[in-house]
Chain A
Amino acid sequence: MNNQELLREIDRLAKEINEPVRIMEVCGTHTVSIFRLGIRQLLPKNVELVSGPGCPVCVTDDVYMDKAIAYANRDDTIIATFGDMLKVPGSKSSLSEAKAMGADIRVVYSPLDTIAIAKENPDKKAIFLAVGFETTAPTAAALAKSAKDNGIKNLFLLSTEKLVPPVLRLLLEDDAVKVDGFLLPGHVCVITGVEPFKFVAEDYQKPAVVSGFEANEILRGIFLILEMKRTGNIRVLNAYKNVVTEKGNETAKNLVGEVYDTVDASWRGMGIVKKSGLRLNENFAELDIERALKIDIKPAPKKTACRCPDVLKGIITPKDCPLFNKVCSPEKPEGPCMVSVEGVCAAYYKYGRNSFDF
């Protein structure tokens, strides 16, 4: 079906369903694609697309950023990071500010670029900021394994990778949650396979579609969710079969298992989510900068009045959050809904309910 056909079908289904349908997409790249294609403007009024906690950068909390900045400010370190991290706020500063003040912070495209940095600067500690979901974790694991196998002693990781299924469970556990379906992150599923997401339908009776990022693929995902809602035939469908399989990439999964332990993790604005994070295991402990070089940052996440979880669940709108536009804004964001350039709160802040009318 082409785009226009899908849009027509979406319209027809929405009319037939005749009640609000809230679809969550759980991936920063989906958020950006949906914005860039202008999909929201074309959907019927009762179908709402919501950005979930799907940007691993945006859910990275203050504590991690403060640690990264503290390591960056040392004279004996070089930080290697993905570009996305530069602007994420810590409690007082950001990596881009630290860079402006002279910290040696380098943007890399691949984690493996850190190896060259370590080799060229033997008297410094090259620290890779390992952020990402299941898509990116294997690439950092590959870095750790390479460094260890090649005996590179001055390469370290500061890990904060996160896992998607646990946070979806957290959202779905709340009976009051108003999410009617999910566009699942296509590239996370390339690695994990579809299996770890089947629980969305099996345990919580919500339809979900593993979706790619082109216009046709996203519209297809929305169409299929509406069709499942209409018929009551609730499942997790793989609509990205040219790269996603049932079981995913075994090599990548095994590598992650070889290098990491699964641990509890702190998600910005959401607190601790059980077994949702990765940490270098005993065999790779010597690459963990936190174990190699202790720094003085308070580990406990602060209690916050941030209501991102409720915004994400659809229980309240951004306006209802006590911090919105008073304490929390795109320049000084509290939770991921505001950190992400197209997060629910950031979008609301920038565009209002009905953005612009050309």
Chain B
Amino acid sequence: MCLAFPAEVLKIDGAIAKVERNGVERDVSLMLLPDTKVGDFVLVHAGFAMEKVTKSDADITEALLAEMCGGERTVNL
């Protein structure tokens, strides 16, 4: 029930968006993500856009280790 994939929004027609990933195009519903814009990357599940995919360049593991404040860091990179 978690099968989902990221895709780029190419076109929006009312509550339906045409999304594309690696040459494969699909129509998805925007009922759960009404503020979607063309050019957004969205996570798609069961024919619906679920959430916007935000990009991050930061090393997530590093950031989370820092977040666990109070514990010593065991990893030195």
A pairs with B: yes
Question: CB-CB < 8 A to A227: which residues of B?
Answer: 65, 68, 71, 74-75
State whether the Cβ of B10 lies closer than 8 Å to any Cβ in chain A. Answer: no
In the complex, which residues of chain A have a beta carbon less than 8 angstroms from the beta carbon of B47?
Answer: 109-113, 139
Q: Which of B13-33 contact A (CB under 8 A)?
A: 28-29, 31-33
CA distance A133 to B11 in the complex (A): 29
A251 in contact with B33 (CB, 8 Å) = yes
In the complex, which of the residues A5, A131, A136, A244 contacts B45, with contact meaning CB atoms closer than 8 Å?
A136
- The reply to whether B46 and A136 contact each other, CB–CB distance below 8 Å, is yes
Complex contact A110–B48 (CB within 8 A): yes
**Please, which residue of chain A has its CB at the minimum distance from the CB of B77?**
A1
* B55 (CB) vs chain A CBs: closest residue: A242
- Chain B interface size band reads 35 or more
* Contact of B74 with A187 in the complex, beta carbons under 8 Å: no
Q: What chain A residues lie within 8 Å of B62 (beta carbons)? A: 1
**A residues in contact with B33, CB < 8 Å:** 249, 251
Which of A111, A135, A233, A244 has a CB less than 8 Å from the CB of B71? A233
Q: Of A27-35, A43-51, A276-284, A311-319, which binds chain B?
A: A27-35
Contact call B68/A228, Cβ cutoff below 8 A: yes
A231 touching B68 in the complex, CB below 8 Å, given contacts A139-B48, A142-B32, A146-B31: yes
Q: When A139-B45, A190-B50 are in contact, do A239 and B71 touch as well, CB less than 8 Å? A: no
Q: Judge if A107 is at the interface, Cβ distance under 8 Å.
A: no
Are the C-beta atoms of A230 and B1 separated by less than 8 Å? no
Taking CB atoms and an 8 Å cut-off, the chain A residues in 21-67 that contact chain B are: 27-30, 55-57
Kindly report which residue of chain B lies nearest to residue A191, judged by CB atoms: B50
Given contacts A110-B46, A255-B31, A255-B32, contact A233 B70 (CB under 8 A): yes
B3–A29 CB distance below 8 A: yes
Q: Is the CB of A1 within 8 A of B68?
A: no
Residue of B nearest to A57 (CB): B1
* A residues 95-111 touching B (CB-CB < 8 Å): 109-111
Q: B51 near A190 (CB under 8 angstroms)?
A: yes
Q: Which listed residue (B50, B72, B77) contacts A187, Cβ 8 A?
A: B50
> Does A172 make an interface contact (CB < 8 A)?
no
Q: Known contacts A231-B71, A241-B60: does B2 contact A139 (CB below 8 Å)?
A: no
Residues on the A chain within 8 Å of B77, using CB? 1, 5
Question: Given A139-B32, A242-B55, list of 7 further CB < 8 A pairs?
Answer: A109-B47, A136-B45, A138-B48, A138-B50, A145-B31, A241-B56, A243-B54
- Where the two chains meet, the residues of A that have a C-beta atom closer than 8 Å to any C-beta of B are 1, 5-6, 9, 12-13, 27-30, 55-57, 82, 109-113, 131-133, 135-136, 138-139, 142, 145-146, 185-188, 190-191, 213, 220, 223-224, 227-228, 230-233, 235, 237, 239, 241-244, 249, 251-252, 255
